[in-house]
Amino acid sequence: MKRKKRYLTTIDYFRTNIKWFMMVVATIFIAGIFIGPGFGSYGSMQCGGDKTAHLTRQQYAEQESEVMARMGDNEFRAYTINQKTANRLTRYTRNSPGTIISPEQKISVTWSMLNEEIEKTLKLEKAKESNIELKAEEINEVYDSEKQNIMSGRGLSTSTSEGNVSLLQMADRKIQAQKSERAFLSFLSSQLHMSPKDFKNIIRDNLLVEKYTESLNDEAKEQVKSDAKRESIELYNRIVSEGENFAEVAENESDESSSAANGGLVEDMTRKDAKAKDDEYATALFTSEIGKVQEPLELDDGFYIIKVEDRTLAEGEDFENAKDGIIAEIKDELGITDDEEEKEPEVKEYSDEELTEMASTEGIEEDTEKESVESENQITDYMIKERYEKVTFRLIFVRPESYQTRYQENLKAIKKEEGVEIVDPLMKAYSYVADYQGDRDFDSAIEGFRAIREERLLTLNEEKTIWQEKETELENAPEDKRIKLLEETVVHERSVEYANTNLAQIDYLIAYYMQEKIAFVENEMMTAEEPDESAQEKAQSMIDELHSEMRILIEEAVASESTPDPYYNAMLGDLQLDAGEWVAAYENWSIVADYGERDLSLLQRAQPAFNKFLEFLEDEEMRKKAGKEFDKLQKNLDKALEIQRKQQEEWQAQMQKMIEEMSQEGELE
């Protein structure tokens, strides 16, 4: 009898052909890794897949954020810069509780963070191009130090020092060290998301940046020194070769202000005071030919051109008569009393080199220094002579400019060569006024801020329009759509608040740098040697126009419900004070006094404002209220100053402790 054919189920079929299924799946998987757009990280990254699929949230946010600056192939994005800015400001407010961050402070910190990133990247590239040597020992030393610091902060010690300990203690220390090493590696992986190799690479880069910075500093020091030397030689030649009067050149060119006012004349400087400055300085003053202009003398602080006018040496009857008085002076300085028991005379021995150097100084002989002590407690004849001998001379001092200034100039030039481009409009506008030491282009900055204001105003109006449309829709919407529309309306309402805040901030920045421009122009008007009435009238007209525009901008910002801080009220209050609007100014400064309980900057600005209110407010009740607020403000100011004092003392104590620890470790000489 023929058996009836049995129908296979899906499971039976799978079991029968399982090896073929496994082979197909494996083939697809392997192919996907190498060529498929979505199988595995390699395929997705190389063959058109989602290039952000394997990025961390931070990396994705960084990649999608706007570019703030470019340098060659390097891009500096807003996410990283803003994160660093927020961290810096958080530390600042944590160390100074109650402090309010003003818009100009925030933009300044953002600019600093951007420049730090640019300069670090630039220096690293230049260091690599320069083939700066870096030994593995240097990297390992910093690596071990950082590891120790990290693990100490986590309550673990990485010390493996054995010393005089028992075997059991030694074993326990090694076990603890192994635990600490594992904890450190875990910390690197879980908290910093890096391997030890990554960590060492960061250390290597930081050391390269430090070494390149040192080379830039050394170069700047040599440049300013060379410039000062060249200037001193030019001045010397003007006097010696061209016959210019020494006193006139000193008065106009010397960087020693105290003597320059008197034609470079320095009268009756003792040998002791000259040596206190520098031995070479003393030698030049007491050995050079009287009346002859000496070639520039290089010392640590700059170059000196000297012309000795007169000299008094330790010889003759006058010197002998002066000895007793000089000895009494030295005794007084050393705390020696006349009734103190006299000690045996002591002979001071000098090396041959010291004797040779002393012999080269006019008025001092070798055998003089071999003599025994003339008076009590090692008061030598030389000590008496160096207080008696005097010189009158003229000098021209050429001080090298600050090497830090030259360093910044050189760095700026390197940035320009490398094509650093500021892309962000806000940073671009601020760049014109960021350098407080250089020329500040207020007009370009204000123009840039105004352009940003136009864009922000347009954004605000667009957001307002959308918000109003959503509110209208919400009023007429059926119940089933109201929840969704309400959510959308709230989102756009918040967008309007955010746009309002952005507009208020740019209004403040425009007004702030208008204020800076006014201060600059007023200073120029005051310091002008020959005032030009026409030019001053024009400048005053411009100042009045700026004041009017500032007033409009700040009033608009203060009227906005999303104005973020009391600095707006403070500026408006100042404008109203200048206009004599005492009541309006008081109302704004009263708001500031309430906010800035511990903000030292605001409290110090508020103090003179309240003094004026107490003097000029006509309303008796308002003046009484201002008086009470002023008393409170004064107490808050005293508290803020006390907090600042304590913070400075803590900082100084920390620095002193650090110095002592370094000294104990032999890191300081």
**281 vs 496: CA distance, rounded Å:** 71
Q: Is the pLDDT of residue 8 over 60?
A: no
Provide the pLDDT for residue 368: 40
- Tell me the pLDDT tens digit for each residue of 417-444: 999 999 999 999 999 999 876 789 999 9
Q: Which strand ranges, in their side-by-side order, compose the sheet holding 302-312?
A: 265-270, 390-398, 302-312, 297-299
Residue 361's φ and ψ, nearest 5 degrees, are: -90, 125
Give residue 266's pLDDT band: very low, low, confident or very high (50, 70, 90): very high
- What percent of the chain stands above pLDDT 90? 45
Token pair recorded at residue 259: 């003597």
Contact (Cβ atoms closer than 8 angstroms) between residue 384 and residue 318: no
**260 vs 668: CA distance, rounded Å:** 39
Average pLDDT over residues 588-615: 85
Provide the pLDDT for residue 560: 82
Q: Which helix (H) or strand (E) holds 182?
A: helix 167-190
Average pLDDT over residues 588-595: 84
- Between residues 375 and 198, which one has the greater pLDDT? 198
Q: Is the pLDDT of residue 40 over 50?
A: no
Contact (Cβ atoms closer than 8 angstroms) between residue 387 and residue 312: no
Average pLDDT over residues 308-326: 86
- Between residues 237 and 604, which one has the greater pLDDT? 237
- Tell me the pLDDT tens digit for each residue of 537-553: 899 999 999 999 999 99
Q: Which residues partner with 393 through β-bridges?
A: 266, 308
Look at the block and give the residue holding tokens 């005379």. 345
Provide the pLDDT for residue 145: 84
Q: At what angle do helices 600-616 and 567-578 cross, to 10 degrees?
A: 30
Q: Taking CA 390 as the corner, what is the angle to CA 384 and CA 391, rounded to the nearest 5 degrees? A: 155
**194 vs 184: CA distance, rounded Å:** 11
- Top mean pLDDT of 273-287, 324-338, 523-537, 647-661 is at 273-287
**539 vs 93: CA distance, rounded Å:** 39
Residue 507's φ and ψ, nearest 5 degrees, are: -60, -45
Q: Is residue 307 classed as helix, strand or coil in its secondary structure?
A: strand
Provide the pLDDT for residue 166: 55
Provide the pLDDT for residue 387: 87
Q: Is the pLDDT of residue 214 over 90?
A: yes
* Residue 490 CA neighbour count, 13 Å, CB half: 6
* End-to-end Cα distance, the chain: 110
Provide the pLDDT for residue 366: 40
Token pair recorded at residue 118: 């640019």
Residue 436's φ and ψ, nearest 5 degrees, are: -70, -20
Which amino acid type is present at position 256? E
Provide the pLDDT for residue 226: 95
Give the torsion sign (CA, 101, 106, 108, 114): positive
What's the longest Cα–Cα distance across the chain? 156
**56 vs 43: CA distance, rounded Å:** 18
Q: Which residues partner with 297 through β-bridges?
A: 304
Q: For the ranges 107-121, 266-280, 569-583, 631-645, which has the lowest average pLDDT?
A: 631-645
* Residue 495 CA neighbour count, 13 Å, CB half: 19
Average pLDDT over residues 450-477: 92
Provide the pLDDT for residue 162: 44
Q: Is the pLDDT of residue 334 over 80?
A: no
Provide the pLDDT for residue 230: 96
Provide the pLDDT for residue 168: 52
Give residue 391's pLDDT band: very low, low, confident or very high (50, 70, 90): very high
Q: Is the pLDDT of residue 176 over 60?
A: no
Average pLDDT over residues 602-609: 89
Provide the pLDDT for residue 364: 43
Q: Is the pLDDT of residue 585 over 90?
A: yes
The mean predicted confidence, pLDDT, of the chain is 81
- Between residues 666 and 468, which one has the greater pLDDT? 468
Give residue 16's pLDDT band: very low, low, confident or very high (50, 70, 90): low
Provide the pLDDT for residue 377: 46
Provide the pLDDT for residue 596: 62
210 burial (CB, 10 Å; 0-12 / 13-18 / 19+) is middle
355 burial (CB, 10 Å; 0-12 / 13-18 / 19+) is middle
**136 vs 200: CA distance, rounded Å:** 10
Q: For the ranges 109-123, 199-213, 467-481, 498-512, which has the lowest average pLDDT?
A: 467-481
Give residue 206's pLDDT band: very low, low, confident or very high (50, 70, 90): very high
Give residue 663's pLDDT band: very low, low, confident or very high (50, 70, 90): low
Contact (Cβ atoms closer than 8 angstroms) between residue 195 and residue 188: yes
pTM for this entry: 0.72
Provide the pLDDT for residue 159: 46
Provide the pLDDT for residue 252: 94
Quick one: how far is CA 427 from the chain centroid?
18
Provide the pLDDT for residue 662: 64
